Chains A and B, each alone.
Chain A
Amino acid sequence: MTTTGGPDETLSVALRTEALEQLLTERGLIDPKVMNGIITEYETNVGPLNGAKVVAKAWTDPDYRQRLLDDGTAAIKELGFSGAQGEHIVVVENTATTHNVVVCTLCSCYPWPVLGLPPSWYKDPAYRSRIVKEPRTVLSEMGLDLADDVQITVRDSTSEVRWLVLPERPAGTEHLTEEELVPLVSRDAMVGVAKVGAP
């Protein structure tokens, strides 16, 4: 591995990014219009709303829920969500007695098509190391206090498996439709650092 240590470290990383983009554009390796389209897509269209639609459908359609648990990527694609980092999505279900929480200990693997790009805390070294060692404490610090008899499983995402949590449907929402459930589902609940609250 090369390093970029030395005098150039003092130059702004923004300039270095721009320099690389210029060189790649001049060599025809990237098309700025295509690249701008990708950035706009991830800034505006790809986000946790997609995952919330998946969860709300799973809550209201038992057949879909089963397909989602059997083959996450395929069931998610049924709703039109696919693309980079959308391969190998495995969905795990949180219940009253079992709680899954997702991390990527080595980098920041994350199911982009359903959650968008990861938030800064997901990429942070402290979260990535501590959630494995002391999940109950970290979840509590993040505002989620779980009873001692709830079993916590930490799911480590990799390029082979990207985990998505199917949160527990909150009590008191039995009368709500799929469309009404969507806004209740937060990104944090689909990573497993929060629960879905009743409206």
Chain B
Amino acid sequence: MTAPLDIEGPAAPPRSNGELVFAEPWESRAFGMAVCLYEAGAFTWPEFQAALIARIAAWEAGADQDQPYNYYRLWLAALEDVLVGLRAVSTDEVTTRTHALAQRPQGHDHRDHPDDHDHPH
């Protein structure tokens, strides 16, 4: 790939150390889940890393380039791959739950209520 470095956009090289660690809240959740599971011994880091490399390679091979490159989207997909492989969850379960969450009435999105994070769903 010979795409120019994105000098202005979200992937632009920062001139200082002031960049936000996570661009959006869900990215921090996807990151936190993987590290939490790793620290709990659910998988080794090389296992997760192999899944991440496979997801990135697939995107770069063009199979997935209908989506713009988003590192944490590929991270989440890799985490799902590992967890499905461990039979901790199935892809269908995650999809079904995602649809259910999408049906929530407006105003029940808990991303808008950071202080109310422990309420039961």
- Interface on chain B toward A: helix, strand, loop, or mixed SS? helix
Number of interface residues of A (CB under 8 A): 60
Chain A residues near B84 (CB, 8 Å)?
A: 2
A107 and B80 alpha carbons, distance in the complex (Å): 17
With A38-B35, A42-B21, A116-B21 as contacts: A19 and B94 at CB distance below 8 Å = yes
Contact A119 B2 (CB under 8 A): no
Contact B88 A27 (CB under 8 A): yes
Residue A142 is within 8 A (CB to CB) of chain B in the complex: yes
Contact A39 B31 (CB under 8 A): yes
Contact A120 B40 (CB under 8 A): no
Contact B121 A14 (CB under 8 A): no
Chain A residues near B117 (CB, 8 Å)?
A: 32, 36
With A38-B32, A126-B11 as contacts: A2 and B89 at CB distance below 8 Å = no
Looking at A5-13, A93-101, A174-182, the stretch in contact with chain B turns out to be A5-13
- Interface on chain A toward B: helix, strand, loop, or mixed SS? helix
A48 and B14 alpha carbons, distance in the complex (Å): 14
Chain A residues near B53 (CB, 8 Å)?
A: 106-107
A4 and B66 alpha carbons, distance in the complex (Å): 13
Contact of A124 among B6, B67, B102 (CB under 8 A): B6
Query: Shortest CB–CB separation between residue B10 and chain A, in angstroms?
Result: 6
Interface 1/0s, chain B 20-59, versus A by CB < 8 A? 0111111011111101111110100110010111111111
A19 and B33 alpha carbons, distance in the complex (Å): 12
Q: Which residues of B contact A (CB under 8 A)?
A: 1-7, 10-17, 19, 21-26, 28-33, 35-40, 42, 45-46, 49, 51-60, 67, 69-73, 76-77, 79-81, 83-84, 88-89, 91, 93-95, 97-102, 111, 117-118, 121
Enumerate 28 A-B pairs (CB-CB under 8 Å) in ascending A order. Answer: A1-B55, A1-B58, A8-B98, A12-B102, A17-B76, A19-B97, A20-B79, A27-B88, A29-B42, A30-B37, A30-B40, A47-B17, A48-B17, A85-B45, A109-B49, A119-B13, A119-B14, A120-B11, A121-B6, A121-B13, A123-B71, A124-B5, A124-B69, A125-B69, A126-B5, A141-B4, A141-B5, A159-B46
Pairs A-B, 3 closest by C-beta atoms: A19-B97, A14-B26, A19-B98
